[in-house]
With several copies, the nearest count.
Chain A
Amino acid sequence: MELHSGSLDTKEIFGRWLDEQAKSNYGAYIPFVGTIRAEDGIEALSFDIYEPILQKWFDEWQERAKVLGAVVKMAHSVGDVPVHTSSYVSAVFSPRRRVALELIDEFVEDFKANAPIWKYDVKNGERIYAEDRSTPMDGAGLLK
């Protein structure tokens, strides 16, 4: 897992992960690249991350992947990321395509639901919490 300040260098990450696994004999490599869409007049999105819990979340996914003979990877931006640049890359390597296709779907969906990352719209230099697009994590409401 890697966190970067600002936009991700997607090509560098794609190539580096490919090279790292070049001799691992995985038949399928599926990256997911998330790019900031220009919409609602935003200039950028901005991200807060709570790293200790994100790391635990990611470590559990590595264990899940390992049981399937697969590997997961993840990179995310911290701070402002301008529109048309990327804030998120995750990936699965697996010997077989079915495992890889199913795992990337589950990994990305669980990331959206449970990774401790908060998103803000940046408009006129102001940071506005993207509350309408945010999801309460599993177990939310415990203290209500």
Chain B
Amino acid sequence: MIKVEFLGPIGKTPMEIEATTLADVAVKLKEEQELGAWLDKCAVALNDTMVNDLTTVLKDGDKISILPPVCGG
């Protein structure tokens, strides 16, 4: 199982999904209507490291974080 958590203002409870690559995660998250407005502007981290490649392979217990647009300062 892969845990997906939604940071900051997204306000969605974490999900547990089956996925072997980040591309699988994308497919699953696109099914979630409430994420429709978020996915195209969110960055992604795998186990707290930023990732940029949909072919990234996942293993059981991995944690995916979905990071919406930021504004620190």
Q: Which A residues are closer than 8 A to B by beta carbons?
A: 34, 47-50, 52-53, 56, 76, 87-88, 97, 108, 111-120, 129-131, 133-144
Contact = CB atoms under 8 A, between A and B. Distances in A.
Residues of A contacting B: mostly: mixed
Contacts of B39: 141, 143-144
A134 B65 contact: no
Contacts of A114: 70
Contact of A52 (B48, B51, B54, B68): B48
Interface of B: 7-9, 22, 25-26, 29-30, 39-45, 48-52, 54, 65-73
Residues of B contacting A: mostly: mixed
Contact of B43 (A34, A97, A130, A140): A140
A56 B50 CA distance: 10
Contact of B71 (A134, A141, A143): A134
